[in-house]
Amino acid sequence: MKNLKEFSTSADRFEGANLLCPGCAHSIIVREVLNATDVQKVKDAGGSIIVSPNTDVGVIEQSISLGMVPMPGFQTATEALTAIKAGATYLKLFPAN
Structurally, how many domains does the chain consist of?
1
| Rounded distance between C-alpha atoms, residue 65 and residue 62, angstroms | 5
| Rounded distance between C-alpha atoms, residue 96 and residue 45, angstroms | 27
Q: For residue 58, give the CATH number of its domain.
A: 3.20.20.70
What letter represents residue 24's amino acid? C
Note the pLDDT of residue 78: 97
Note the pLDDT of residue 47: 82
| Rounded distance between C-alpha atoms, residue 73 and residue 92, angstroms | 5
Note the pLDDT of residue 1: 46
What parts of the chain have a pLDDT lower than 70? 1-31, 96-97
Note the pLDDT of residue 75: 95
| Rounded distance between C-alpha atoms, residue 23 and residue 28, angstroms | 12
| Owning domain of residue 26 | 4-93
pTM of the complete model:
0.73
